Structures are given as structure tokens and as C-alpha cells.
């Protein structure tokens, strides 16, 4: 979930109202779904189970999808959410909310098969498998399945896939991920898409079924990259350029038949979708009716009441409203139709290493930080999430838990230990400038942070920032702040997108995402080595080691592993949590028989 900087050297993950990760960032760390509590929902996700990620085989990539026990076909599922989808053109999608809806009508070369125990397999979606490489990840080959068709019955070919990737360079697609766009462009070449007849030799449609990508550098996890909705298939013959964002052409089980902006969207079956080609989607309902403009408290109350059409209603994004969490937890019947799980999002407080140069001082900030008080002001574990002590979320391949600074054992902060670190640094009373969003909630949090750090001897200067320009302010390399909040989510569940963009010192620039400005040659070299490891499990170990290496340098104060807590109507079955997108998934949903 990102906002795009496609023309820049790297992609930026900032947060703005309208999607799970972004809503947290816009509030400066407040809000978000709850984490697992003592009263666990029936569909909770275990963090370690989620991190069981593997690459599937060709057999894993065959359809149909595993049937949902007790499922029946037919009926209409209603979906209610706060916002309309900001984009439907795959090339413009980088928000998880948009990506979740797109599962119903957009397919990629690869996708994720999520087991009931939380295990995740990368499998072929349009492709027969998860892709092959014979040179360590610089050249990737995918073969399309038989009987793939667009909503008009025409075949999906490798020429369509080539067109899909060439059009991401067009000026009208400034949003969306930038990975393939950077990796497929020859050095020094300027390219603005295929519409003037120019094409990229780096994307080779060998025949109708075979597509080969020639990357400009080694990327062993490129098969994970192309699972992003941002690389969803777009037909060459039906590409309406700018207009495509309003009416995409379906390669999935449903097609859009009506879309009234900010009000509703209706989907019906795509009769040309073949379930035998699809290992992900079951497509039990006949129709989907989506309603927008429903706030969290409204949707929560409707789900609790469970009346009339709301019995057959779910939500992609809206979590249980904070005001109703305890009510839901106390109601066993409502809890039967609830779900909880960790999302790919981690929140933290950046420490500006260009200003706070002494690592002992940075370690003292982490050690003294009053995270318990900060979390309590945001609704506790149910309002903010689980305490974090690492960079990489438990939802990422290779995550290894550790607690270098006692954040889990002493979340209230350890001022005495922090004082010792400051003494070792020879700075008993250093000044720290803490910048924060000027909102009522963050004003209270700033007081707690100031009080906690002052107990360790810090002199804290609190600087309120306008929420509308918060990221503009902290995004400057020469910004005058020492500590400021942030958040990050992986684009796919490997350590590459958890660390490469955010802690590579060679990518420090204005409005780029290395907000702590960490520039350590050992870290930079380790990032390059980890990025070149082809085996996912071995790469996971390398990223986990990097996580600890970076945290030893103390560039951030980890805050929380964000979680989602949601409920749905009693008339639906098969509603599951998707740990990749951090939301309720539509792929196995069905309407129960009366």
C-alpha cells in the first residue's frame, strides 16, 4: 500500500486516509485495527504461521481453487466501505483496498494461495507456474495457461502481457509500483509506453504463450513482484488509456456492470472465466453489490445488528470501530463472525541519524521510549497493534524475533538503563527535537513521549507539524527534527521491500523513504548480497540478519505490528483474512442457503 513516486529512483510508502496503512500514517500513528487479544476471534491468524511462505510448483498453480467447506453457488454479496476505489486500472493501483477489489476481475502472472493455517504459497495465476530463471534472477520466463480468456471471449496472450508491462511507462499511469518499470528499462533509455509504436526489447513475447523478461540487474524475487496488482493484465485491444481506470476489462471471474463514483459498484459473472485455470478464486456468488460512504462506526453497528440485507454483507477495509471493540469482544455470537490477523505494516519512530550521530544516544532513545503509554493512548493492543521490536513484520519470510533494547520486557521504558547509555556517550542531557502531527490525539502522545524521554535525562523540544504537509517536512534530508513517526509495509512478503528502500544509504534523497538517513557501508553491502540470493529461504535468513544489524545501529524506535480486527454478516461463509493485503478477502466468500 503506497503512494507512488514512479518517476523517482525508488517507491515511497506514505500513508493517507483511505487505506489501512495510509490511515495510520496520516494520523501520525493513531488508529488502525486491533491485534490478537485474550478473546481471540475464531479466524485469528498466528503470526508465525503467516510467515510460512514458499514458492509453489506447477501442480500448486492448477485450478480449480480448493473448495470452501459447505459453500454453495449463487446469491449476491454486499460490500460496504468508507471509500470508493481510487483506481481500477492495474497500472495505477498501489493501495491494498484497490488491490483487494481487483481480485474479482484482474489477474496477474502470479498470485498467492493462502492456506487455512496461514501458510502462503506463491503460485502461477495466469502463468503455469511461479516463473523460472536460469541466471539467478536476471532473466525470467513465464508460460501462460491454456483457455485463458478476456470477458469478451478473446484469448489472453503473451502480446497482452507485453503490452501490460509496456503501458506502465505511460504518462497517464503515474501511480502504482515502480519496480518493473525500473528493472526493464535499459540504462539511459527514455520510454513513454507503446502507444506511438515503440516497444521494449527487454520484454519478449516469444509466442502466444511465452513471455520472457530481461531485467537490467538480478532480482531473484521478480516472481513475487509480478504478483502485485500493479502488474495485472490489460488487453492490448481493449486498452482505453485514461478511460481504462473507470472500466477495466475483466480477466477474472466477475466483470463490472455499473460504477457510480463514491456511491456504488456492481459486478456480475464473467462467463468466459474458466475455474480450471484459477487456483485462487472460487467465485461462489452470482453478483457483488458494493456500497461506499459507510464510516467505520456505521459499518460496525450494521454488522452487530445483522439485519436484513446486512446479513449478506462484508467489508474489505473497515475494521471494528474503536468505540465498539469491547462490545464485540463480549458478544460470543458476533465473535463467531469475526476475524483478526497481522497485516504487512509496521509502525515506528524514525531517528534522524544525520543529526543524532552517536549510536549510544540513539539506543538510549529506544531504551527510554514510553511505548506502553503511547500505545495506551491509542486504544492499547486492540487499537494500535502488537508491540514491535524488529523492522521486519512477522508476516514476512524469514522474520526472526529479537528484542535488543528490552521493548517487549519493559515497554514502559527503562530510564535508568538509558541514562547509562547517555553516560557512555558523554551526553547526560542531550536535546531531542520531536516532530509530530498536530492533532488532539498526537498532542497527548507527544506529552507522554516528552515525559518518558525526560526521565532519562533528555531535553525534549516538541514541534507540531501540519498534518497535510507532514511528509513534505520530514521528507527533507536537511530537516531540523531528530525523531518523527512513520510506517512501512512490504510490497511482497520478503525482506527485500522491508529493508532495501528504507535503509539503503545510497537512496537518501529529498522525499525518499530512508527517513532515518541511515548510511552504513556494511548495511549497504549486506543489502546487495541479500538481494542477489536466489533461494527464498536463504534470502529470508539474510534479511533477518540484516534486520538485527540495522537495529544495532538504532535508526528507529519500533512501535507496532499493525493488526486487523473485522466482522461480517451471519449470512456469509468463507470470509477469510488476507495477510498479504491485511483485509477481508472475497475469494472464498459464499452466501449461505436460507
- DSSP for 380-403 reads HHHHT-EE--SSS-TTSTT-----
Residue 16 has pLDDT above 80, yes or no: no
Which grid cell sits at 332?
460470543
Per-residue pLDDT of 451-493, as tens digits, reads 999 999 999 999 999 988 899 999 999 999 999 999 898 899 8
Residue 309 has pLDDT above 90, yes or no: yes
| 64-288+568-591: CATH number | 3.40.190.10
What average pLDDT does this structure show over 156-170? 98
CA distances from 92 to 1, 87, 119, 173, 308 (A): 12, 6, 29, 6, 36
Report the pLDDT value the prediction gives residue 441, as an integer from 0 to 100. 86
What does the mean pLDDT of the chain come to? 89
What average pLDDT does this structure show over 514-529? 97
Q: Is residue 297 exposed (0-12), middle (13-18) or buried (19+ Cβ within 10 Å)?
A: middle
Residue 24 has pLDDT above 50, yes or no: no
Report the pLDDT value the prediction gives residue 342, as an integer from 0 to 100. 85
What average pLDDT does this structure show over 437-447? 92
What average pLDDT does this structure show over 184-202? 95
What average pLDDT does this structure show over 241-270? 97
Report the pLDDT value the prediction gives residue 379, as an integer from 0 to 100. 75
| Residue 547 or 94, more confident | 547
Report the pLDDT value the prediction gives residue 465, as an integer from 0 to 100. 96
| 342-563: CATH number | 3.10.105.10
Residue 17 has pLDDT above 60, yes or no: no
Contact 555, 569 (CB under 8 A): no
Report the pLDDT value the prediction gives residue 46, as an integer from 0 to 100. 39
- 3-class secondary structure, 58: coil
Whole-prediction pTM value? Answer: 0.85
Alpha helix ranges (H) inside 191-260: 222-225
What average pLDDT does this structure show over 413-417? 98
Confidence of residue 227 (pLDDT cuts 50, 70, 90): very high
Report the pLDDT value the prediction gives residue 11, as an integer from 0 to 100. 30
Report the pLDDT value the prediction gives residue 447, as an integer from 0 to 100. 97
Show me where the domains of the chain are located. 64-288+568-591, 342-563
Report the pLDDT value the prediction gives residue 552, as an integer from 0 to 100. 98
Residue 45 has pLDDT above 70, yes or no: no
What average pLDDT does this structure show over 559-580? 94
Confidence of residue 534 (pLDDT cuts 50, 70, 90): confident
Confidence of residue 12 (pLDDT cuts 50, 70, 90): very low
Grid-cell match 481493449, residue found: 238
Residue 521 has pLDDT above 90, yes or no: yes
Report the pLDDT value the prediction gives residue 193, as an integer from 0 to 100. 97
Phi–psi pair at 56, nearest 5 degrees: -80, 170
Phi–psi pair at 444, nearest 5 degrees: -65, -40
Residue 561 has pLDDT above 80, yes or no: yes
Spatial separation of the C-alpha atoms in residues 406 and 148, rounded to whole Å: 53
49 preceded by cis ω (within 30°)?
Answer: no
Report the pLDDT value the prediction gives residue 384, as an integer from 0 to 100. 81
Residue 14 has pLDDT above 80, yes or no: no
Amino acid at each position: 500500500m503506497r503512494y507512488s513516486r514512479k518517476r523517482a529512483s525508488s517507491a515511497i510508502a506514505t500513508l493517507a486516509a483511505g487505506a489501512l496503512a495510509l490511515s495510520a500514517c496520516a494520523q501520525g500513528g493513531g488508529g488502525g485495527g486491533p491485534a490478537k487479544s485474550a478473546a481471540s476471534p475464531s479466524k485469528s491468524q498466528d503470526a508465525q504461521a503467516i510467515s510460512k511462505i514458499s514458492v509453489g510448483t506447477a501442480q500448486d498453480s492448477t485450478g480449480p481453487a480448493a473448495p470452501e467447506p459447505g459453500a454453495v453457488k449463487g446469491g449476491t454479496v454486499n460490500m460496504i466501505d468508507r471509500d470508493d476505489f481510487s483506481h481500477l486500472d492495474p497500472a495505477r493501483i498501489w493501495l491494498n483496498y484497490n488491490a483487494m477489489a481487483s481480485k474479482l476481475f484482474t489477474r496477474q502472472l502470479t498470485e498467492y494461495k493462502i492456506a487455512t493455517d496461514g501458510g502462503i504459497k506463491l503460485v502461477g495465476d495466469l502463468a503455469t507456474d511461479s516463473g523460472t530463471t536460469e541466471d539467478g534472477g536476471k532473466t525470467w520466463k513465464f508460460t501462460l495457461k491454456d483457455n485463458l480468456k478476456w470477458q469478451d471471449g478473446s484469448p489472453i496472450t503473451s502480446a497482452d502481457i507485453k503490452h501490460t508491462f509496456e503501458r506502465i511507462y505511460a504518462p497517464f499511469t503515474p501511480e502504482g509500483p515502480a519496480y518493473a518499470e525500473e528493472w526493464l528499462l535499459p540504462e539511459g533509455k527514455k520510454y513513454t509506453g507503446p502507444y506511438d509504436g515503440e516497444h521494449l526489447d527487454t520484454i519478449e513475447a516469444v509466442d502466444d504463450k511465452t513471455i520472457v523478461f530481461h531485467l537490467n540487474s538480478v532480482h531473484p524475487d521478480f516472481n513475487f513482484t509480478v504478483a502485485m496488482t500493479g502488474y495485472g493484465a490489460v488487453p492490448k485491444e481493449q486498452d482505453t488509456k485514461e478511460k481504462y481506470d473507470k472500466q477495466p476489462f475483466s480477466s477474472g471471474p466477475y466483470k463490472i456492470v455499473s460504477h457510480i463514483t463514491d456511491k456504488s459498484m456492481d459486478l456480475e459473472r464473467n462467463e468466459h472465466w474458466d475455474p480450471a485455470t484459477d487456483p485462487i478464486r472460487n467465485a461462489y456468488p452470482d453478483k457483488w453489490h458494493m456500497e461506499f460512504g459507510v464510516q467505520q462506526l456505521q459499518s460496525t453497528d450494521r454488522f452487530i445488528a445483522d439485519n436484513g440485507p446486512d446479513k449478506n454483507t462484508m467489508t474489505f477495509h473497515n475494521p471494528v470501530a474503536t468505540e465498539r471493540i469491547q462490545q464485540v469482544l463480549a458478544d460470543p455470537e458476533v465473535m463467531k463472525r469475526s476475524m483478526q490477523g497481522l497485516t504487512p505494516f509496521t509502525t515506528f519512530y524514525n531517528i534522524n541519524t544525520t543529526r543524532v550521530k552517536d549510536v549510544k544516544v540513539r539506543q538510549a532513545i529506544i531504551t527510554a521510549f514510553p511505548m506502553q503509554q503511547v500505545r495506551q493512548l491509542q486504544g492499547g493492543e486492540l487499537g494500535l497493534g502488537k508491540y514491535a521490536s524488529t523492522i521486519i513484520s512477522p508476516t514476512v519470510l524469514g522474520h526472526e524475533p529479537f528484542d535488543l533494547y528490552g521493548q517487549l520486557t519493559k515497554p514502559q521504558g527503562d530510564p535508568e538503563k538509558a541514562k547509562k547509555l547517555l553516560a557512555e556517550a558523554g551526553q547526560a542531557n542531550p536535546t531531542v527535537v520531536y516532530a509530530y502531527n498536530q492533532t488532539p490525539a498526537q498532542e497527548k502522545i507527544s506529552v507522554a513521549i516528552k515525559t518518558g524521554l525526560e526521565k532519562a535525562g533528555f531535553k525534549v523540544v516538541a514541534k507540531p507539524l501540519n498534518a497535510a504537509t507532514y511528509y513534505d517536512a520530514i521528507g527533507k534530508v536537511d530537516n531540523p527534527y531528530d525523531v518523527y513517526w512513520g510506517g512501512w509495509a512490504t510490497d511482497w512478503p520478503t525482506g527485500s521491500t522491508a529493508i532495501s528502500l528504507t535503509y539503503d544509504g545510497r537512496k537518501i534523497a529529498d522525499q525518499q523513504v530512508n527517513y532515518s538517513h541511515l548510511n552504513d557501508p556494511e548495511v549497504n553491502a549486506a543489502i546487495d548480497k541479500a538481494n542477489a540470493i536466489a533461494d527464498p529461504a536463504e534470502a529470508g535468513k539474510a534479511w533477518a540478519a540484516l534486520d538485527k544489524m540495522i537495529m544495532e545501529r538504532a535508526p528507529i524506535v519500533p512501535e507496532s505490528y499493525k493488526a486487523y480486527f473485522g466482522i461480517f454478516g451471519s449470512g456469509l461463509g468463507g470470509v477469510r483474512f488476507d495477510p498479504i493485503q491485511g483485509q477481508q478477502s472475497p475469494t472464498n466468500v459464499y452466501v449461505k442457503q436460507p
